[in-house]
Homo-oligomer: A and B are copies of this chain.
Amino acid sequence: MQLDERKMKILQAIIRNYLETGEPVGSRTISKYTDLNLSSATIRNEMSDLEEMGYILQPHTSAGRIPSDKGYRLYVDSMMEENARQVEELKEMLVEKDEKMDHLLKQVAKVLAVNTNYATMVTAPRVSGNKVKFIQLSRVNEEQILAVVVAEGNIIKNTMINVDEPINDEVMLKLNILLNTSLNGLAIEEINLALISKMKAQAGEYGSFIGDVIDAVAETIKDDDDLEVYTSGANNIFKYPELASEQNASGLINAFEEKELLAQLVDSAMDETGNKNGIRVYIGEESPIQSMKDCSIVTANYEFGEGMRGTIGIIGPKRMDYEKVVGTLKTIKTQLDTLYQDDKK
């Protein structure tokens, strides 16, 4: 069977209507809703076809139809084609960039949540392929040496290293020079065993100490594996009865609290090439997270300068206002992308 234009229009009408009401939609409603001027009986026939083709389904006989995952998918895909409108007001809310990344990202999550009425998540940018920029050892007291490692992108890591016996100023200076000349500009793959043993040799009796410092360096520039996730509006799920059922809600809330699960989402969003906008939509069963089988998820990746990429996402019911969500996500994504560029100059 072919999905001709009329069927497509009817399908769209069904989905639109269902998005608004959350109720199964019947033939009579569609007959009046659209500008096709068809009777409910005709619609019924078409709907029967659409059901057979798998785009819609009946929760039970003698109820209206609701979109299936496949139906949503079609709708979303066709919608993605069009250019989403700009969500202008959002811009003002993000003007002043917060000194602290923490606050900024939490804020972004909140703005998204308030604006869309869905649950949202934002991850801190993840570095990859980062390089050493600067290393500094300082003696805090007799037994403690503070190692500060700065990586490209101004990621800073401090490590306190305990030493058995004091290291004098002269040695400290030498070690500092050794570390900086040897390691600056290197990425994690470039720091190999040969280099390390060469450095240890040069450090003489402080070889093991150098080892500690290198560990700290590695810790700084390696790809961070536990990423920060900020969420907001988890309680929005209560606005959608189909998600607010006890078991559903419990699972969702849990996912939002133990953020590890959300990390999977990020991995998935990053891996996939996504469409041209870097926006991905997971509908129902497509979701990479078990407890979100009844949700739809829309994610976008943003880039905070080279190699530092994060993800923003929205989790809501399948009858989600995809148009608005995609538009909003795009706007925020752009905001974040440009934030870094502004920062540069």
Contacts and interface: CB of A to CB of B under 8 A. Distances in A.
A329 to B, nearest CB: 20
Interface string A252-287: 011011100000000000000000000000000000
B257 A234 contact: yes
A231 B141 CA distance: 36
Contact of A138 (B136, B232, B249): B136
Nearest to A100: B226
A136 B154 contact: no
Interface residues of A, number: 30
A250 B257 CA distance: 14
A39 to B, nearest CB: 40
Taken together, the copies of this chain in the complex come to 2
A257 B244 contact: no
Contacts of A235: 249-251, 253-254, 257
Contacts of A318: none
Contacts of A36: none
B154 A156 contact: no
Q: Give 10 nearest A-B pairs by CB, closest first.
A: A235-B253, A238-B250, A235-B250, A136-B138, A235-B254, A156-B158, A134-B140, A234-B257, A238-B246, A148-B148
5 contacts: A110-B258, A134-B138, A136-B148, A156-B158, A235-B254
